[in-house]
Amino acid sequence: MTTAFGDRELQVEIGFDCALALSHSKRGSGGFPPSVSLSSATASVQKPVNGFATVPAGANALCVNIRGALLARSAGVNKLILIPPRSIVFVRGGTKLSLQAARGDHDALLLSWLTGVAPALENWITAKATGKGGANRAVACRAIDPHLSSFVTRLEAVRSGPEDLAEPMLLSLIHEGVAQLLSEPNEMQLATVPSDLPKSVKELIREVRGNSAQSWPLKDAADRAGYSPFHFSRVFKQMVGYGFHEYVDRCRTESAVEMLVGSDSAIDLVASACGFGTTQGLRESIKEYLGLVPSELRTIPESTTPR
């Protein structure tokens, strides 16, 4: 089943290998032809299904993935991109993605726009995508919580607001959302953190990301950051949005996912190598953050051609 979201040049095609119970509604910007389109979609998936998404050249898209996990690969780039529940994804025009939708309920908002409506932003996107370290940067994803929650709240408000204000409001959100997503070097991080952290906390986070498999007692982490354990626990959650132990777990889960999709190592070996005490601990973390089990991470095809 293939469904088009948006209007004419703005159409983003999404298709899956079975007839999903998919429904969607859309709202144009009020112009003719529309230069900005906001669509919503819901679906119920009984088992993981493979599919694709295509964003046409001359347009870009932001997807607010509210419920349901997706796995994606950009055509020609054999790297898995995680799209967990409550995340926002940027997809550049001319991009084709292979997808896998996890079982369960899915709910998303899709904001698409013609590149000509925001030429300065398009020039910035091009520089980010092709500059140092940005080759083939066609997709970027970040968690909504806690740093992008206000973005989603304001996007929802535009859906029910005055029609004549939709386009300028949506364009404002587009500039903000794209800047937030492309400011991170990675396509996806389960352990996203703000950029304005104190130097000592930034250094600690860099160490954790590079060595997430090792033991990270709260006291040792607090000492490295220059805080008492009690104060560090409170400050870290306040600054980052979740507790230190959850941050470590998210980093370990990222490493495990990369190892699962990039090798044929047994799941118990992956769990041990990434710092999980048991295979069950790894399964529970992947299930919590992605709505999948480890074996399902290895079922998405390397490429899916739109029909």
How sure is the predictor about 262, in pLDDT bands with cuts at 50, 70 and 90? confident
pLDDT digits (tens, 9 = 90+) for 137-177: 788 888 887 778 899 999 989 888 888 888 889 999 999 99
The DSSP element (H or E) to which 97 belongs, if any, is strand 95-101
- Determine, yes or no, domain membership for 151: yes
- Please count the structural domains in the chain: 2
Residue 230 lies in a domain: yes
Pair (61, 155) in one structural domain = yes
Range of the domain at 213: 199-298
Summarize pLDDT for 101-135 with one digit per residue, the tens. Answer: 888 889 999 999 999 999 999 999 988 877 555 45
Q: Is residue 303 part of a domain?
A: no
Evaluate whether residue 89 is within a structural domain.
yes
Q: How confident is the model at residue 98 (pLDDT cuts 50, 70, 90)?
A: confident
Q: Determine which of 87-91, 113-117, 263-267, 301-305 has the lowest per-residue pLDDT on average.
A: 301-305
Q: Is the pLDDT of residue 67 over 70?
A: yes
Q: If you search the block for the tokens 């990039």, which residue do you land on?
A: 262
Instruction: Please indicate, yes or no, whether residues 43 and 143 belong to a single structural domain of this protein.
Output: yes
Q: Within a domain: residue 306?
A: no
Domain final position from 113, 147, 182 = 182
Region 286-304 average pLDDT = 75
Question: Does 42 score more than 90 pLDDT?
Answer: no
Give the number of other Cβ atoms within 10 Å of residue 4's Cβ: 16
Note whether 175 and 244 are same-domain residues: no
Shared-domain flag, residues 177 and 211: no
Share of the chain above pLDDT 70, in %: 83
Return the higher-pLDDT residue of 275 and 74: 275
Report the b/e string of 182-213 with b at 16+ CB within 10 A.
beeeebbbbbbbeeebeeebeebbeebbeebb
| Domain contains 82 | yes
* Band of residue 306 on the pLDDT scale cut at 50, 70, 90: very low
Task: Quickly count: other Cβ atoms within 10 Å of residue 117's Cβ.
Answer: 18
How many helices and strands (H and E) does the chain possess?
A: 9, 12
Greater confidence (14 vs 125) lies with 125
Give yes or no: residues 102 and 163 share one domain: yes
Contact 99, 72 (CB under 8 A): yes
**Residue 266 is part of a domain; what is its CATH number?**
1.10.10.60
Mean pLDDT of the chain: 83
Residue 188 located in a structural domain: no
Task: Tokens for 176, please give them.
Answer: 């903000």
Same domain, 175 and 221: no
Lowest mean per-residue pLDDT among 48-52, 214-218, 246-250: 48-52
Do residues 87 and 55 lie in contact, with contact meaning Cβ atoms separated by under 8 Å?
no
Q: How confident is the model at residue 32 (pLDDT cuts 50, 70, 90)?
A: very low
Last residue of a domain, one of 136, 151, 182: 182
Same domain, 104 and 215: no
Last residue of a domain, one of 182, 210, 231: 182
Asked if residue 147 and residue 203 are part of one domain, the reply reads: no
Question: Which amino acid is it at 189?
Answer: Q
Is residue 230 located within the same domain as residue 154?
no
- Note whether 64 and 141 are same-domain residues: yes
What is the bridge-based pairing of β-strands 139-143 and 80-83? unpaired
